[in-house]
């Protein structure tokens, strides 16, 4: 067995716990530090998966038994923690978004670009086996030139009002994943068109946010990409993708825990239910994201998506919000 990579985990909320389970499932990685200001959470997680406990992230960066960190703490802490990782020269895998404020993101941009230490941004859906397989086939030319992309993404139920108050709204907390998925296929997005609606969620209306949005993105090669979002879905977590090219179409539908189909008086060929939310749906994606990150830590590959991808998704989310408010398409230049 090769020497395990020693990991410090910062943040022990829902996503931090997912990462901890991924570390446990990977042979050549081990948890050595668990950090959370809510120290009880850190203790509970360490009791299950190992590691020393601290409330202070500084301890993690100072430790001599940490080869890499996973940043899964609340968004407002990300910029400072990324800065600390860059300062300490510690490889980091950071949950999205970098920040909700593009100006704050840009304070790190030059340093991140100059750094040679692996930095990965947690757009885990790129590592989902299904989306990754579809992407691979597109890259290999199965459908010829990519012309249209359709991304459908619906959460099972609206987030709590408190969450949305601090999340930056649907474009920045939800659509942002789909914007990165769009860029997985068409990195250079040049135009964003968007419409939003208030269909069912009183809290969203109060916050002047939307509960459903539709976007049209244009790529530099005149590709057209649609994103369909809703804050609710009666049939579980809806995560689908269609890539259309001049030689064919590839499609990823939804996934559930088993492939049993039922045939009854009123309905036939019925599957499901699907996975209920991202923790179940993307368990493999989180694990494979970490596997790829560990390869980069070992120097075998470079990380992707990285800092610029995190920034680009935020720029597009901001453009989406503006387009939805004004009704006019917004031009963007991601390289500026």
Please report how close the Cβ of residue 262 comes to its own copies at its closest, in angstroms.
5
- Round the CA-based radius of gyration of the chain to a whole number and report it: 20
From 40, 220, 270, 302, residue interacting with its own copies (rule: CB under 8 A): 270
Please report how close the Cβ of residue 37 comes to its own copies at its closest, in angstroms.
24
Binders in 313-332 for its own copies, by CB under 8 A: 327-329
CB-CB contact of 310 with 92 (8 Å): no
Binders in 221-260 for its own copies, by CB under 8 A: 222-224, 226, 228, 230, 232-236, 238, 244-260
Site membership for its own copies, residue 336 (CB under 8 A): no
* Number of residues lying near its own copies (CB under 8 A): 80
Task: Return the closest-CA partner of residue 217 out of 314, 320, 131, 309.
Answer: 320
CA distances 331 to 48, 187, 218, 306, 307, Å, are 49, 15, 9, 23, 22
From 47, 55, 62, 202, residue interacting with its own copies (rule: CB under 8 A): 47
Task: Return the closest-CA partner of residue 77 out of 64, 53, 58.
Answer: 58
> What is the residue whose two structure tokens read 């991140």?
112
Residue nearer to its own copies on the CB measure, 79 or 250: 250
Please report how close the Cβ of residue 275 comes to its own copies at its closest, in angstroms.
11
Residue nearer to its own copies on the CB measure, 264 or 333: 264
Task: Return the closest-CA partner of residue 214 out of 197, 190, 189, 234.
Answer: 197
Sign of CA dihedral 157, 158, 163, 164: positive
Contact letters for its own copies, residues 126-165 (x by CB under 8 A): ---xx--xx--x----xxxx-xx-x-x-x-----------
End-to-end CA distance of the chain: 45
Site membership for its own copies, residue 202 (CB under 8 A): no
Contact letters for its own copies, residues 62-101 (x by CB under 8 A): ----------------------------------------
Binders in 4-33 for its own copies, by CB under 8 A: 24-25, 27
From 59, 191, 280, 322, residue interacting with its own copies (rule: CB under 8 A): 191
> Can you tell me the distance from the alpha carbon of 296 to that of 127, in angstroms, rounded to the nearest whole number?
15
> Can you tell me the distance from the alpha carbon of 267 to that of 211, in angstroms, rounded to the nearest whole number?
31
> Can you tell me the distance from the alpha carbon of 42 to that of 40, in angstroms, rounded to the nearest whole number?
5
From 103, 269, 300, 333, residue interacting with its own copies (rule: CB under 8 A): 269
Please report how close the Cβ of residue 309 comes to its own copies at its closest, in angstroms.
23
Structure tokens at 56: 């202070």
């Amino acid at each position: 067995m090769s020497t395990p990579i020693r990991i410090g985990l910062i943040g022990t909320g829902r996503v931090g716990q997912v990462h901890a389970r991924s570390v446990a499932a990977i042979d050549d990685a081990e948890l050595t530090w668990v950090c959370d200001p809510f120290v009880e959470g850190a203790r509970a997680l360490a009791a299950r998966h190992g590691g020393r406990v601290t409330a202070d992230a500084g301890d993690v960066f100072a430790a001599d038994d940490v080869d890499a960190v996973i940043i899964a703490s609340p968004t407002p802490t990300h910029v400072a923690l990324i800065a600390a990782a860059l300062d300490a020269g510690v490889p980091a895998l950071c949950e999205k978004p970098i920040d909700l404020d593009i100006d704050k993101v840009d304070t790190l941009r030059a340093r991140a670009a100059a750094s040679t230490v692996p930095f990965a941004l947690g757009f885990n859906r790129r590592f989902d086996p299904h989306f990754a397989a579809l992407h691979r086939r597109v890259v290999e030319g199965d459908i010829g030139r990519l012309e249209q992309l359709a991304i459908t993404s619906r959460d099972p139920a609206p987030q709590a009002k408190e969450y949305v108050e601090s999340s930056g709204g649907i474009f920045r907390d939800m659509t942002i994943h789909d914007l990165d998925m769009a860029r997985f296929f068409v990195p250079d997005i040049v135009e964003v068109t968007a419409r939003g609606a208030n269909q069912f969620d009183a809290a969203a209306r109060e916050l002047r946010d939307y509960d459903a949005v539709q976007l049209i993105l244009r790529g530099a090669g005149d590709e057209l990409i649609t994103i369909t979002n809703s804050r609710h879905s009666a049939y579980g977590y809806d995560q689908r993708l269609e890539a259309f090219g001049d030689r064919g179409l590839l499609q990823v539908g939804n996934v559930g825990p088993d492939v049993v189909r039922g045939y009854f008086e009123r309905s036939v060929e019925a599957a499901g239910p699907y996975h209920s939310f991202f923790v179940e749906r993307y368990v493999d994606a989180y694990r494979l994201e970490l596997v790829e990150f560990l390869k980069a830590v070992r120097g075998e590959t470079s990380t992707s998506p990285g800092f610029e991808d995190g920034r680009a998704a935020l720029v597009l989310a901001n453009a989406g919000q503006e387009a939805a408010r004004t009704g006019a398409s917004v031009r963007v230049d991601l390289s500026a």
